[in-house]
Amino acid sequence: MKDNFCIIMAGGVGSRFWPLSKSDKPKQFLDILGIGKTFLQLTFERLNKICPNENFYIVTNKAYKDIVLEQLPQLNESQVLLEPKRRNTAPCIEFANYIIGKQNPNAKIIVCPSDHLILNELEFIRVVSDGLDFVKDKNALLTLGIKPSRPDTGYGYIQIDKNSNGINSEIDKVKTFTEKPNSDLAKFFFESGEFFWNSGIFIWSLDSIELAFKQHLPEVYNLFQNRNQYSTEMEFIDKTYSECPNISIDYGIMEKSNNVFVFKADFGWSDLGTWGSLYENTQHDENKNSIVGKNILTYDTDNCVINIPIDKLVVVQGLEGFIVVDSGESLLICKKDEEQRIRQFVNDIQLKKGDSFV
């Protein structure tokens, strides 16, 4: 395990989970599932079965340093990599690569978002372990593709190359990446059997990903090679990030590389990007309500998401297909099938009521 490293990306804002998720404490630091652990803690515990404590790096915004260390006391300050600006996933990953490279040039790396739900952890551990074995001696970039259970328009898709004959029954060469499709295209993807959801979880060796940066994102790669020009690490990172493009690892590297493979997996995955996706992946009561809270009484209420502070008594009557979320200082009541408007609500709140509520 000494060569296994893990990068957890924990810098997002998660505005679609407002009002629980706010800029000062986004969803990855919240116990939205009501189980006593945050998404970040669950992600760390899951990957800790594969990667030792000292080989974890959490990449996050400067504002979240203290909360990361509070929630993951197993780590020391040097393992929390602080981004001075949000620059998407490619600079985030190269920042961590730079740190890992100084520690272990033979590293094999798992890159994982901090806020995903994984229901079958044993299968997840098996897939990641087999993936680490696959990339160990290959110049290969491996992504985990999830077998779709429905024609979902909220996920990106990965198409396998059926002419590559497959590496084995579970790993195929990637043919194309496709951004979130419309409903007709999603239906075609689902029925074809050639497309898998893009989980945003990656596995590769340090050598392979650095070669890919050098080939496809040389402007980012070169910025992180200039450490000697700066007197302190903080000055180096601040200056580097100010010059980095805002670009995702998918667009900057994965879509341009010809050595990308997909591990076709099925371990109960969801990126839990919205209240609706939370509803789809949590238990329901006899009236198909997803409820988090200890003191909630419902009457004539069906197919709702209800999330209430543990010490608050709430009575809900006569709602069907609604989201009801109370953060303590803010209350959201919104139709479940119109939750895409939550981002608009957050923007309006900022304009009309200021930043304190978001």
Instruction: Please tell me the predicted confidence (pLDDT) of residue 33.
Output: 87
* pLDDT tens-digit map of 175-231: 999 988 999 999 999 999 999 999 999 999 999 999 999 999 999 999 999 888 898
200 and 292: one domain?
no
Write down the pTM of the prediction. Answer: 0.93
Same domain flag for 254 and 151: yes
Give first-to-last CA distance, the chain, whole Å.
41
| Per-residue pLDDT at 163 exceeds 80 | no
Determine the 3-state secondary structure of 242 from DSSP: helix
What pLDDT, on the 0 to 100 scale, is given for residue 165? 66
Query: Which one of 221, 252, 270 terminates a domain?
Result: 270
DSSP 48-114: TTTS-GGGEEEEEEGGGHHHHHHH-TTS-GGGEEEESS---HHHHHHHHHHHHHHH-TT-EEEEEES
314 and 182 inside one domain: no
Integer Cα distance of 144 and 128 in angstroms = 9
Length of the chain: 358
* 265 and 283 together in one domain: no
Q: Are 105 and 52 in a shared domain?
A: yes
Distances (CA, A) of 357 to 21, 68, 195, 223: 10, 22, 40, 37
Residue 174: name the closest of 191, 188, 195, 156 by CA: 195
> Angle between the 233-243 and 89-103 helix axes, to the nearest 10 degrees?
150
Does residue 4 surpass a pLDDT of 80?
Answer: yes
Residue 285 contacts by C-beta under 8 Å, 6 or more apart in sequence? Answer: 291, 298
Residue 17 has pLDDT above 90, yes or no: yes
Same domain, 150 and 218: yes
Task: Assess whether 93 and 193 both reside in one domain.
Answer: yes
43 and 150 inside one domain: yes
Query: Is residue 164 pLDDT above 80, yes or no?
Result: no
Mean predicted confidence (pLDDT) in 290-296: 95
Residue 153 sits in the same domain as residue 289: no
pLDDT digits (tens, 9 = 90+) for 117-156: 999 999 999 999 999 999 999 999 999 999 999 998 889 9
> What is the mean predicted confidence (pLDDT) over 18-26?
93
Domain encompassing residue 59: 4-270
